[in-house]
Amino acid sequence: MKILKRILLAILAIVIIVPIGFMAFFLFIGPALNDARASSIEKELSRMELPPETEIIETASYCGNTDGTGNHVEIWAGVLIRSELTEEEISQFFKDYEIIWAVPVDENEYPEPRDDMKFPYLSSNGERTGCYIIADYYKAVTQNDIRGH
């Protein structure tokens, strides 16, 4: 009888602990791992090689379902730069990046497709002349992140 009681307690513990562990990973641990990866990408971007007459204003990143096509998580990370170079010269220098946006001078036109991918500098009505966003999408550490579902 003691053995049966122990087995039932073990089964009950597993039935309770496994779902709680999965939920904790999905809600807290997975997002923390993806945020850490996004932070490291931002640090890499802040040390990127720049063409002459160009400066980094700030970096930003976002973890989640960036294109809204289904259950997946990816990381969008970008750098806001200001340059005296032409848009063509900037595009040529940063040709390895998927996204190169010339920031419109009109503050009502925000170049990014989603509100959660914003640079605070642009939102605070900073000087936009000669600004570009250089960005890319990166693979997430884990798909077990509530933000992608």
- Domain contains 14: no
Residue 23 covered by a domain:
no
146 vs 127: CA distance, rounded Å: 36
pLDDT at 134 exceeding the cut of 90: yes
Short-list 68, 75, 104, 35, CA closest to 133: 104
**19 within a domain of the structure (yes/no):** no
pLDDT tens for 2-42 read 899 999 989 988 999 999 999 999 999 999 999 999 999 99
In a domain, 60, yes or no: yes
pLDDT in tens, 56-67: 999 999 998 877
Residues sharing a CB contact under 8 Å with residue 142, sequence separation 6 or more, in sequence order: 30, 33, 34, 73
Residue 35 is part of which domain span?
31-148
The two tokens of residue 21 are 């562990």
Residue 11 falls within a domain, yes or no? no
- Report yes or no on 98 lying in a domain: yes
Number of independent structural domains in the chain: 1
List Cβ neighbours of 149 (8 Å cut-off, separation of 6 or more): 65, 71
